[in-house]
Structure 1
């Protein structure tokens, strides 16, 4: 009897304690769940959808799950629609968007002036390059047009290549060409200069060479170079409106369709990063023209939401690293080297022979003149 009373005296308080603890724990969990639910609700309430236009070359980056997830943590639900960079600069319906994100400084400058924007956001950049193939490179190397330095290939005689194109030379006309003896005209395949920045950058490079290695600065020089550079666009035939198309043709259709294709370096590096080595064509080669021209990707905000996005893309360390993972260069060259070396991708740290494009007004006049010739 004594033992039973002792047990009851011990068990009773213990059960009471467990009951209190259970109730307390339930209240704590309920309170924690509510706090978490409140936080989720707060984040959802603070989330803004930011919608804009961008060149096709940046879509893989702007639609990448890691980029979208990181931006959502910052309260931004990003929407990006594809458009040619020159098209973006000339669109009349920009008020329905929060940002415009073309490729190239000329288009960004046009937007800034037209929309009366005080501040734009340079985010990252990439050089123009030519995607080619080992048999084609062998022909060019034998004729002194390209050379290899380290593990990178450079077009060291762009003037000679341009003369071949102006003369209408065909690949089979090149002396000693047994690697690629086809009847195609020697041309660089580009996008449509009427809509796309990459073709406008090619025009900038050609006009520089045609103007005795000087940036075209006035109408007299403009009229002098146009007869030389215009045929190099007209002879191409059908051209894609944005830069994704020519690169996709290069990858899928090979050397027969596209022996020399103007691309952004970032496109080539992104392809190498996401494609297993066994799945790549081993003859792919990237050529860096000397000189080349950089395409800077400048975000033009059209309202406060666009400014918030621009600040993040230009300054946030996580987003800058993600941009490098998608092939872009940022102000820190060490980051570009570090990321690509870790993936076994060879790319020069710096390019020394780089020119500026003409002023927007001059470039626009050249494009308009070529557009008029295309319409004939």
Structure 2
């Protein structure tokens, strides 16, 4: 039997449901989040070091005076916290520009002319200036008092010592010997000529800084310009270096001789201020009668980080901007942009160090400095002096292999 169709409904039909949008199960969400975290973590580890969490290896060529800073365990630990292991090898600032090899990430000379040259040779513009230090003289109380009687040195009202570089040049012109100084504080047996002991000007930045001051005074208190060196100027400069005798074997040697061998061997040495502070605070201990003197005029040694790779750039940025590394640099005796920690250190250890250094001369252009050193270098050669010692000893871990990540291949 057939049934008739039902009558039409008086109520409209409900609208069709949209397609189902069921949420994925929680395990799937958790899994996706874990993958994202792994990818993000891998990216961070790659930036800071290796994908396995190892430290990213970075290598540099630095002035030998900075090797102890980079090898300091506190500095190494902080860099490790930031994901880096930095290995450095020493070289004289004059030679750093040409010393960069494949697999090395930055250079660190200690002067504006050397920085200028490095940038030109390696085709870079980027530079970081994490710290600086003025050039000073180190002597002993009896020597300082004898120099004061001779009108060359003076102790100021704040307890610090000044050293008149022009008065010193007057003594050298007269070929004064140490035994000729007034009083009996200097041994009458010291027949050596009264000269400031320096590093080797053919390789060392600190000796080049000494050259800057001498050339300024000998050029009627004008910064030497150009590459044509006056013969009289060249002769006087050469004598003041060659008359010191056998050049040092390394850039650290004159400071170590001063510290360890006493006034009979090294009565007066040209040094970086930070070397005195680092030794006074951290050792090895200086002589009890050690005296720090500020030359008038002096010159600032500005230490730069010049990157040739992205890794080198990051080290430069960290040394300049990281508060912990900046504090460690100040604790090591360097002057940073934030002077507070430096002043705290000086006050805490009652060091005879000036908060501010006046009477500072500027360095000539790189080519002028090279012309001056070139004339001295020729005199060394003509006098039969041996070739300069190269500061090429590797830092901790040795030079290692190439990193294959140079920015300028």
Q: Distance in 1 between matches of 2:320 and 2:155?
A: 34
Q: Distance in 1 between matches of 2:320 and 2:272?
A: 20
RMSD: 2.0
Contact map agreement 2:228 2:371 (CA 8 A) in 1: no
Q: Which has the higher helix share?
A: 1
Match of 2:103 in 1: 96
Report Cα offsets for 1:323-347 as digits up to 9, x if no partner. 0111100122222101221233231
Q: Distance in 2 between matches of 1:177 and 1:361?
A: 44
Q: Distance in 1 between matches of 2:175 and 2:150?
A: 17
Match of 1:229 in 2: 237
**Shift of residue 117, structure 1, vs aligned partner:** 0.5
2:122 corresponds to 1:115: yes
Q: Distance in 2 between matches of 1:322 and 1:219?
A: 40
Match of 2:18 in 1: none
**Shift of residue 241, structure 1, vs aligned partner:** 5.2
Structure 1, unaligned runs of 5 or more: 1-34
Structure 2, unaligned runs of 5 or more: 1-37, 383-409
Of the three residues 281, 284, 288, the one matched with 2:287 is 281
- TM-score computed with the length of structure 2 as normaliser: 0.78
Match of 1:9 in 2: none
Question: Within 5 Å, which residues of 2 pair with 1:99-248?
Answer: 99-149=106-156, 150-155=158-163, 157-174=164-181, 176-180=182-186, 181=188, 182-219=190-227, 222-240=230-248, 242-248=250-256
**Shift of residue 59, structure 1, vs aligned partner:** 1.1
- Pair 280,192 (structure 1): closer, same or farther in 2 beyond 3 Å: closer
Q: Distance in 1 between matches of 2:224 and 2:249?
A: 25
Match of 1:26 in 2: none
Report Cα offsets for 1:215-257 as digits up to 9, x if no partner. 1113456445212211001111122254311111111101011
Q: Distance in 1 between matches of 2:83 and 2:288?
A: 43
Of the three residues 314, 326, 334, the one matched with 1:320 is 326
Match of 2:25 in 1: none
Please give the secondary structure, in 1, of the residue aligned with 2:294. strand
- Pair 89,44 (structure 1): closer, same or farther in 2 beyond 3 Å: closer
Q: Distance in 1 between matches of 2:214 and 2:130?
A: 26
**Shift of residue 169, structure 1, vs aligned partner:** 1.4
Greater radius of gyration (CA):
2
Match of 2:375 in 1: 369
Q: Distance in 1 between matches of 2:375 and 2:229?
A: 14
Match of 2:304 in 1: 298
Please give the secondary structure, in 2, of the residue aligned with 1:355. coil
**Shift of residue 171, structure 1, vs aligned partner:** 1.5
Contact map agreement 1:54 1:102 (CA 8 A) in 2: yes
**Shift of residue 44, structure 1, vs aligned partner:** 4.6
Contact map agreement 2:229 2:372 (CA 8 A) in 1: no
Report Cα offsets for 1:101-144 as digits up to 9, x if no partner. 12111111100011111211111000111110111111111122
Of the three residues 246, 256, 266, the one matched with 2:264 is 256
Contact map agreement 1:55 1:102 (CA 8 A) in 2: yes
- TM-score computed with the length of structure 1 as normaliser: 0.84
Of the three residues 330, 340, 351, the one matched with 2:336 is 330
Q: Distance in 1 between matches of 2:356 and 2:60?
A: 31
Q: Distance in 2 between matches of 1:267 and 1:216?
A: 28
Please give the secondary structure, in 2, of the residue aligned with 1:81. strand
Contact map agreement 1:222 1:366 (CA 8 A) in 2: no
| Equivalenced residues, count | 335
Q: Distance in 1 between matches of 2:374 and 2:97?
A: 14
- Pair 350,317 (structure 1): closer, same or farther in 2 beyond 3 Å: same
